[in-house]
Structure 1
Amino acid sequence: MVDELLVQHVLAGRLSAYDITAELLPRAPLVRFGLVDIKPSRPRPFAALEVDPVILSRLRGEPPELGAACAPRPADRDLDALEASPGAIAAAIDAVARAARPARIAVRGRTGAGRRTLLAALADHAGRALGVIDATLLPRDADRFVDALRVALRRAQLAGLVPVVHRLDAAIFDHRSGSDVARDVLAAHPGPVAILAPPGAPPPLPLGHTAIDLPPLTETERLAVWQRALDDTHHWLRDSAGVAARYRIGPGVIHRAVAAAAAAATAATTATRDPAAPCDDRIDAFLRQARDLRLGDHARRVDRLATWADLVLPPDIMDSLRELIGRVRHRRTVFEDWGMSRAMATSRGLTALFQGQPGTGKTLVAGVIARELGLDLYQVDLSKVMSKWIGETERNLATIFDAAEDGQAILLFDEADALFAKRTEVRSSNDRYANLEVNYLLQRLDAFEGIAILTTNSGGSIDPAFKRRLSFQLSFPFPDEDTRAELWRAHLPRELPRAGELTFDALARKYQLSGGYIRNACLRAAFLAAQEETPLHQRHLERAVALEFAELGKLSTAGSIA
């Protein structure tokens, strides 16, 4: 063991005990920058002294061991080769040049916006590389997390790297967020440090920090990035404009998708000898897999989508659905070519509320919209989104909304009352946190640029502030007698063998059923006929309706069920 007293004896002929004591004070560079660690188990001058392993590795000429949570990130392109919105790079360079010392920098943007690439290029301009620290790989206990983050920051700096902390928003500690837990450690770090944060998030840095925002690319800018990335690989897309429109992703994701497609194409060329084949399918497969990874914990993809032929709705509802679809298809024309994006700072996405009794076709219509637009439909599992831990619900929602925007998937919040309900009077901490979740949703809907559909059986339970932010509000009426007759016809396919006359008008007049229950009765009647090994008879339909009423505890088939 080496302690301060031993050092004084060894260096007695060259340095005085006073000088050695001064060099080992807490604010002296050796200790403050972490080159020497003084163990607190014994008082000075008997406390053990340790030199950080990174210093020993550098003295030996060996690669330093930074730990599992920290990885070096050299620059892979120059500043003038970065893909970003016009002016964003110049603004970033200017902000860093004016940053206080030691620099505290927050780079905010969406996943794949090029935040790390920008910081790596800036660090390379100063002759450094990044040491990227993943907060989710640090211990999940708050005290151990703080110690581990302090060590990771110190070792990155001692290795000559600029430490960059990311995914703090994904680290949750009971009632504290990762940003709150890390705030004091980041403020106390003696060297420069950078943070990667989502758009609009307040970074856990002291006052006076430098904030750099990377705005999302417009559709036109994304198209240009796709074309440049493809030119570098000599591959091509059959519909590059369609890909740029469907996937609202950043330049980092675009370059990764093109690289993956190029690698897959190289492997396929060996077998098919067709190097000129377009890579649309490979690009789509990569981007869908990336989106599924982000959404998979909180939503499921709906694979069976209805068609227009399955819908039996009033003409005014059908007209509203066609308008809704047109807003998606003509988005680029209106917002970019016609300049409406300058007049509409918020609510540029498409959000719709479908309200009506159960079985009136709300969820069915969401599938038709997804099929018509060629997009995937994801039904959000609210039980996996809502959490008792403070901040966890908001984080889950952020993941869902971001993934939907990037992948141009349609989000379906079925029975949305649980999440979008009216705010309540604050009588307890639970009420306060529930209202905070609603406030977060209101802010996120304002900034949302994707497509989300909410369904509810009771529109009155939805917070009015949500309704003001919605693009469409459609009320699905209970089907009248004529509509019910048409629903009976629509749910019995032509291939189904029939015996005798099926009187749909009589069924519609006799039984007041919503479309969902008519569909269930038709399926049930088909199985009853199959079990008897006979074609479908009127009696099978009557029996199926009676069973539907019985399952709901109704002894009589009079009245309506929805």
Structure 2
Amino acid sequence: GSGRHSLIAALAARVGRGIACIDCHRLPRAGKLMAAALRQELFRALLRGCVPVVSGLEAADPADAEGQDVIKQTLRSHPGPVCIRAAPEASLPLDPGFVTAMLPSLNESERAAFWHEALERAALPVADVDALAARYRVGPGVIEQVIAQVVSRRNHEGVSPDDDAGSQLEEVSAQHIATRLSHIATHVRRLARWEQVALPEDVIDSIREFVARISHRKTVYEKWGFDAKMTTSRGLTALFYGPPGTGKSMVAGLIARELGLDLYRIDLARIVSKWIGETEKNLAEVFDAAEDGQVVILFDEADSLFAKRTEVKSSVDRYANLEVNYLLQRLDTFEGVGILTTNLEGSIDQAFKRRMSLRLHFPFPDEDMRVRLWAAHIPAEAPVAGDFDFLDLARRFPLSGGYIRNSTLRAAFLAAQENRPLGQEHLLRAIALEYRELGKLSTSGRME
């Protein structure tokens, strides 16, 4: 949506030519095979008298020096202009001497000005245009698409021209981002609230400070001039680490709720691919969509993807290290909000830790925190039999927040099955069942 396609099409039209789009992601991954397929596509474009527009060239394996040379030769030998679309950080197999046209992304003020101009042309009334510009970091192309789709919908539904279109624009803009993320991430709709979280005060202070940093980015970067000073690490990323069940993923949802943003949990099984370059392509889609839609992306159990680089003993090690190197480079240019969670901080590569805006340890809950967790997990609507002794439960059973949640829910089903109000005995029975399922004979051991 930054206008690359429109710019190339306009330039080609000035000399009476059309364009032929070639997506290298649809070609074989191996360098020589990609070069052969690319040569055929370029020849077809030549026969049609079109200017070839090549995208996805970064999918070629950068470690395959011979394959890279063959691709360079293929592009060099084409008897005509070739346009290549790529992200600024992409590493491309090109000979020196090519012409670069950098299309910078719009800052928030520039996006707001374009929204105002495009909405005025479409005669769409919107009360809070600045909110759209702040929420969606999309380019002019996407803005035009969104407005056109909303206009078409309003005409079809017979909406009054005077009715505010803000909610419709918000809905369609969110759909554009969701479409890009849906095949590699899950939209998390149930987000935690502050009253559901029981953490030490210093951890809560760090979370509030992190939320404030996100809320005031426009002030700091644009109004106070830090935009020109900070060339990398402009995004906000957090690493949450600690034992299982201590609330790391829950707090990610809490942050999304506080910011009024959507939360997407990245499905690592769908991100990682056995095909060379495919993992990097999937990661690029995640980071790009997260930036454009200002959504919070959550990498749960992140150690499987952000693990330490290893000594190269095989091609598997080499490609795994390439993925880590790509992530490091992309985090440097990332301008969105990302959260990583892990149970094993030591497994995360040290270079990732240096790039984190916040590193926060989630401790195993102490006795006071466990009392608060027990109380927080009993809904006010639940029928209860007498008072609960949460202090006794906290003293006797060293459970993490995850097991306390499981126990309260299990106790509720036990009470419902007996058609009785929820009582202390149900909680005790549920705890005993949790310990038994984990093969623990004693109920005094720590469960995390």
TM-score class normalised by the smaller sequence: over 0.9
Partner residue of 1:335?
A: 221
Aligned equivalent of 1:377, options 253, 263, 273 = 263
Structure 1 CA distance, aligned partners of 2:235 and 2:67?
30
Match of 1:167, as an amino acid?
G
Say which structure, 1 or 2, has more relative contact order (CA 8 Å, 6+ apart).
2
Structure 2 CA distance, aligned partners of 1:197 and 1:354?
33
2:116 matches 1:227:
yes
Aligned equivalent of 1:457, options 343, 360, 368 = 343
2:362 matches 1:473:
no
Partner residue of 1:448?
A: 334
Match of 2:324, as an amino acid?
V
Match of 2:6, as an amino acid?
T
The within-5 A match list for 1:89-488 is 112-136=1-25, 146=35, 149-169=38-58, 182-269=71-158, 272=159, 274-488=160-374
Q: Is there any run of 5+ residues in structure 1 with no aligned partner, and where?
A: 1-111
> Cα distance 1:425–1:204, how it changes in 2: closer, same or farther (>3 A)?
closer
Structure 2 CA distance, aligned partners of 1:133 and 1:392?
17
Please tell me whether the aligned partners of residues 175 and 389 of structure 1 are also in contact (alpha carbons under 8 angstroms): no
Of 238-247 and 274-283, the range deviating more from structure 2: 274-283
Structure 2 CA distance, aligned partners of 1:176 and 1:548?
55
Q: Is there any run of 5+ residues in structure 2 with no aligned partner, and where?
A: none
Structure 2 CA distance, aligned partners of 1:511 and 1:302?
31
Instruction: Give the 3-state SS of the residue equivalent to 1:213 in structure 2.
Output: coil
- What is the TM-score when the length of structure 2 is the normalising length? 0.94
Structure 2 CA distance, aligned partners of 1:384 and 1:138?
20
Instruction: Give the 3-state SS of the residue equivalent to 1:560 in structure 2.
Output: coil
Match of 1:299, as an amino acid?
A
Structure 2 CA distance, aligned partners of 1:140 and 1:442?
23
Cα deviation code 1:382-440 (max 9, x no counterpart): 11112233222211111111111111111111111111122222233322222221111
2:383 matches 1:494:
no
Instruction: Give the 3-state SS of the residue equivalent to 1:204 in structure 2.
Output: coil
Instruction: Give the 3-state SS of the residue equivalent to 1:130 in structure 2.
Output: strand
- What is the TM-score when the length of structure 1 is the normalising length? 0.75
Instruction: Give the 3-state SS of the residue equivalent to 1:423 in structure 2.
Output: coil
Structure 1 CA distance, aligned partners of 2:69 and 2:173?
33
Partner residue of 1:14?
A: none
Cα deviation code 1:273-324 (max 9, x no counterpart): x111222222222222222222122111111111111111111111111111
Identity of aligned residues (%): 56
Please tell me whether the aligned partners of residues 133 and 165 of structure 1 are also in contact (alpha carbons under 8 angstroms): yes
Match of 2:135, as an amino acid?
R
Structure 2 CA distance, aligned partners of 1:180 and 1:548?
60
> Cα distance 1:137–1:428, how it changes in 2: closer, same or farther (>3 A)?
closer
Structure 2 CA distance, aligned partners of 1:333 and 1:173?
39
Match of 1:218, as an amino acid?
N
Structure 2 CA distance, aligned partners of 1:373 and 1:288?
15
Please tell me whether the aligned partners of residues 131 and 162 of structure 1 are also in contact (alpha carbons under 8 angstroms): yes
Number of aligned positions between the proteins: 448
Please tell me whether the aligned partners of residues 328 and 351 of structure 2 are also in contact (alpha carbons under 8 angstroms): yes
| Deviation at residue 498 of structure 1 after TM alignment | 1.1
Structure 1 CA distance, aligned partners of 2:65 and 2:193?
46
> Cα distance 1:125–1:459, how it changes in 2: closer, same or farther (>3 A)?
same
> Cα distance 1:295–1:126, how it changes in 2: closer, same or farther (>3 A)?
same
| Deviation at residue 526 of structure 1 after TM alignment | 0.4
Cα deviation code 1:507-539 (max 9, x no counterpart): 111110111111110000000000111111211
Structure 2 CA distance, aligned partners of 1:481 and 1:193?
67
> Cα distance 1:250–1:170, how it changes in 2: closer, same or farther (>3 A)?
farther
> Cα distance 1:175–1:237, how it changes in 2: closer, same or farther (>3 A)?
farther
Structure 2 CA distance, aligned partners of 1:483 and 1:177?
59
Please tell me whether the aligned partners of residues 31 and 68 of structure 2 are also in contact (alpha carbons under 8 angstroms): no
Match of 1:208, as an amino acid?
G
| Deviation at residue 172 of structure 1 after TM alignment | 8.4
Partner residue of 2:412?
A: 526
Structure 1 CA distance, aligned partners of 2:34 and 2:328?
32
Please tell me whether the aligned partners of residues 58 and 92 of structure 2 are also in contact (alpha carbons under 8 angstroms): no
